[in-house]
Amino acid sequence: MTERVDRLVRTWIASEQEQEVEEAASEIAKGNATLLDLVKSLGEYLTAEEDDLRTKGVEFLSLVIAKCPPEKLNRQSVRVLTAFYCGKLEDTETIIPALKGLVTLTKLPAFASTDAVEVIKAIFEHVKMKVLIQSQRFTVFTVVDNLVARYREALKALGDEFIRAYINLADGEKDPRNLMLAFAIDRVLLIEFDVKKHIEDLFNITFCYFPITFRPPPNDPYGISAEDLKAALRGTLHANPAFGPLAIPLFLEKLTAGSPVTKKDTLDTLDICLPIYGPAVARENARKLWNCLKLEIFQPTDSVTEEKALKTTQVLIQTIYSADEGTKGDSAEIEGLAKDACDECIQILREPEKSQAQHAIKVLCAFMSTTPSVARFTLARAVPHLVKLFLNPDELPNRAPTLRLLADLIEASRISTTGDPEVLPEEGNVPLSPYKDEVLGVLTVGLKTPASALPAIDGLKSMVRTVALLTDEELGFVVHNVNEILQKDEDESEISDATLDLLCTISSFAPAHVAGNTLPLLFTALPDVAPSREAEADRVRYWRTLAYLKKLCTQSQLFETLVVRLSTKLDLVCIPSAPGEERPADGLEPAAAYAHSILKTLADVLSVKIEQGHPDVVKYIDRLVPRLYNIFFYSALLADGRNMPATDPRLLAVAAQIITLITQTLNAARQETFVKAVFTAYLGGNVSQLAQGIQKIPADTTFAPLQTNAPTVQKNLVVLFSAAIIALHKEVSLPVPDERVLLNNLLQWTVGGAENALQREAIVHLISAILNRHAEKLDAFLSTDTAEFCKVQIFDTAIPVDARRNALLTFTWVTKALLVRGHPTAMSNVDRLFELFDDEKVNWDAARAIGRIPGPDRILTKRNHAVIRILYAQKYCNAVLPRIVEGAKASQSTRQNAFLVALAALIKSVPKSTYTDQMASLMPLLLRGLELPDNEIRASVIDTLQAAAESGGKDNALLAEHASSLVSMMLKNSLVAQTPSVRVRVSALRYLATLPDVVRYDVLHPQKATVVRELAKVLDDPKRAVRKEAVEARTNWFKFTG
């Protein structure tokens, strides 16, 4: 095997290929050769007279060792190699490969402390850093780093000799990669070695790099950022307290004369260093530091530097006073910087309206989060001063700014007490406790005046959020006082919003006060009878009250009260007080509007509660839903030609929303019980299990809304039927013998029973929801009944066009339900819709349906527990879009327009990412879509083009290609004479305004004069919104130059 090693050595000396190194290491690893064999084979090269051969010999040895398994290098081998490499450090030609070998050796388990001492001495004696290039110096630092990391005690034993030699070695290094290692070594030496005699020298070789101004070159392969260097250097600067006396003057110099970036860096570094340098150094330099920091706080160049200066002030105070915290009592007087700075700030606060007062209060607020004694001292000086200032009759105009300063201080006090949330402060141990009566007093007075109300509310909010500060009785006092703001008729929305926010904060932990004091006031403000049409002020008042309740009553206890009180109001508004009493016709609309507002309030609060995951929503399936059904059933059954507000379809829509929201939160078992009651009422006519309330529904009335001859007011109630079903879990079985029969009956009802769009949409949504959950059980319905419905109700040209369009809507929702869950029948249904493109009466409706099928809706959603397959819209688009594009290009005019309609509808329905890569082929078709006589299609096409333009960036090649056509089409669509639709005109003008930002000037230049001239005509458009967009677009084109 010696011959093989010899051959590998000779080959490498000649070619220097990596392969020979790998093979040599492999031979040693397998035991076919030993290190001794390798050294023998290299013998003539290791001792050669020629510098090049000698260097190559040592290089090969180092490369092979680096790839050898550590167990192949025993103690004797390592000792011999160490001595060999240390000897080679004397040879200027072999110093580099020798260092590489030492990098490997110093990591080996067999490397000993004695070797470490030998290596470090050899490096110090023979290595001259200033003659080495960066990568070679990096190798030296790597060896030293390995030794310091693994053989610290041996190096410590060298004492001053090691420290002095290392300082000489590291002095003057400039490369960032080497500095990262040097800083790490420096930090260890400063923390663990005895460096007292050399502290000034170490200071010189570290602080000379502060502040770091390094900027990495573009595409830096080493990935060292300025932040990495700063962090490494800071680790060194705060490694030893002895740096303090030397470092502080340097930091002061940088703060005084440095650039903004240097100042920020200095402030961040001081935050880390001051606690290590200790209270003595901080106290000695306190006044000088404060003078520099004060300048950055009271005359800030930017807000970031100001924040950092405040943080450094906090650190300085903490460093000075935290050591004394345990030794001095609470009552001990604060002396030194904290007292002087506090006095300065109090002096400035004598003029609270001046801008300097804002900076002064920030300093005092910063003091609150330093030490408990400083926080108490700050409050003892500042709070009485601000309270006295507020109560001074001469300072009456300055009450608002005074309260703002006080509110900021209270918030800072609150933040200073937010420690462990599980541990409550001891009674009386909250810093603000001694002054809470006076503070509560001035804040309460401040509430009475609009100018000072906002800061007063902010101050109160901070007080109620301060743990263990206010008693329960005091919380009640706060609620009582802020209630007065809500009772005022003035529309001070900002103040009332802040008041509601405060009450919401209180209700989150003490709802009894809001429930007992605030809610009764608000409910009293709601009338029992709807205000008349003429009583506009009363109407505004109840709108405002309901808005207050909506924001206030999300907490479970308050929501329960809201439901009870608003349900009662709803009964009073919707149901006549005496049987047979009829409401005047002119009072019906106001009553319906009032009832609608009440229902909308309940729906909005429920939405918020569900969004926040409140568990109490579930119980309102028993407490609210039956009352709603009762009101609407009772009104429909007893209407009989009389005016009843609850028969208004708009009220039914909101009630349906409430029922669906509550049903969403139920588990499958509870939903099943509820659905049985719903089906018993709607299919069996027995409403007693579903509808419960004050009004008792007479037993002799007939409830059969799904009968074709039922009154319209009863048929409208199918909205509430659908609302109960569309949010069911997939596991819930419908209480009917055969779901196919049910769906077929509902399908036929949409044709023969539904009288208006409200009824038809409700049943269509119901069919869609059932199909989406249970399609696997309904193959016969899908293959036979749906096909028959399609043939008879859609394809039969003898049927009236409106009826065919209604049937198309039903068929669209059936297809949508299947597509969302990934059912194969969905695409078969789409094929049928394509077949209608030859039928001029309904081809556009079929085209719109194809485009709308994958679009988002509020029925088939995750929240409603629909079965949804991932990426269904993208898969649909990939299947249908090529067919639409092909048809639009190849078809004759009638079919071609239908394909264009389908394209416009589809791109509006699906995510932009599904068609972005096909915009080049879609653009000509979209331009033709702008000529279709349908405003909705035009608007959606322009919206698509707008989205493509905004996402395409500057110099959009596709837009440049079609620039002339786009400009002429948008100008045409922006003129009122040619485009009656305001929405289309506004969209076209917005697109025109965007073009100069995304297309080069040389492309658009030929159109500029035409655009500016034509847009001048649009400036006379009758609609203000259009004129506004025209001004914007024309200005953009005017400014557009090469």
Residue count of the chain, please give it: 1042
What pLDDT is recorded for position 492? 65
Q: What are phi and psi of 90, to 5 degrees?
A: -75, -20
> Taking CA 15 as the corner, what is the angle to CA 14 and CA 19, rounded to the nearest 5 degrees?
125
pLDDT of residue 328: 52
Which of 52, 53, 111 has its CA nearest to residue 83?
A: 111
Sign of CA dihedral 609, 613, 618, 621: positive
- What are the tokens at 97? 């490969």
Structure tokens at 702: 């007939």
Question: Can you read off the two tokens belonging to residue 258?
Answer: 């440095």
Which residues are CB-contacts of 136 (< 8 A; sequence separation ≥ 6)?
Answer: 96, 99
pLDDT above 50: residue 132? yes
Quickly state the pLDDT bin for 579 (edges 50, 70, 90). low
438, 394 Cβ separation under 8 angstroms: no
Q: Nearest CA to 498 among 452, 466, 538?
A: 452
Mean pLDDT, rounded, for 26-53 = 79
Arithmetic mean of pLDDT, 83-104: 87
Please name which of 766, 729, 737 lies closest in space to residue 749, comparing C-alpha atoms.
Answer: 766
pLDDT score recorded for residue 491: 61
User: Residue 954: pLDDT band by 50, 70, 90 thresholds?
Assistant: low
For 341-363, what is the mean pLDDT? 92
Provide mean pLDDT across the span 669-694: 92
Q: What is the pLDDT of residue 242?
A: 93
pLDDT category at 330 given cuts 50, 70, 90 is very low
Rounded mean pLDDT of the chain? 89
Which residue type is seen at 899? F
Q: Note whether 692 and 750 are within 8 A (CB).
A: no
Structure confidence at residue 2 (pLDDT): 65
pLDDT band at 493 (very low <50, low <70, confident <90, very high): confident
Residue 286, pLDDT above cutoff 60: yes
DSSP string, 788-808: HHIIIIII-TTS-HHHHHHHH
For residues 944 and 987, the answer to whether their CB atoms sit within 8 Å is no
Instruction: Write out the two tokens for 627.
Output: 């009352």
Q: For 388-417, what is the mean pLDDT?
A: 90
pLDDT in tens, 112-126: 999 999 999 999 999
Weakest mean pLDDT among 211-225, 605-619, 935-949: 211-225
**pLDDT tens-digit readout, 415-456:** 888 754 444 455 457 888 999 899 999 999 999 888 899 999
Q: What is the model's pTM?
A: 0.80
Q: Is the distance from CB of 247 to CB of 288 less than 8 angstroms?
A: no
Distance CA 509, CA 530 (A): 35
Structural tokens at position 912: 């932009």
Closest listed residue to residue 234, CA positions, set 267, 194, 263, 261: 267
Closest among 704, 735, 708 to 717, alpha carbons compared: 704
3-state secondary structure of 471: coil
Q: Report the alpha-carbon distance of residue 969 to residue 973 in Å, rounded.
A: 6
Please give the residue that has the higher pLDDT: either 612 or 257. Answer: 612
Name which of 333, 401, 408, 324 is nearest 367 in CA terms.
Answer: 408
* pLDDT higher than threshold 90 for residue 806: yes
Of all residues in the chain, the percent with pLDDT exceeding 70 is: 95
Confidence band for 891, pLDDT divided at 50, 70 and 90: low
Q: Where is pLDDT greater, at 805 or 580?
A: 805
pLDDT at 686 over 60: yes
Q: Both tokens of residue 180?
A: 């990262």
d(CA 294, CA 337) in angstroms, rounded, equals: 12
pLDDT (tens digit, 9 = 90+) per residue, 714-746?
A: 999 999 999 999 999 999 999 999 999 999 999
Lowest mean pLDDT among 55-64, 411-420, 921-930, 932-941: 411-420
Instruction: Read off the pLDDT band of 331 (50, 70, 90).
Output: very low
3-state SS, residue 525? helix
Confidence of residue 244 (pLDDT cuts 50, 70, 90): very high
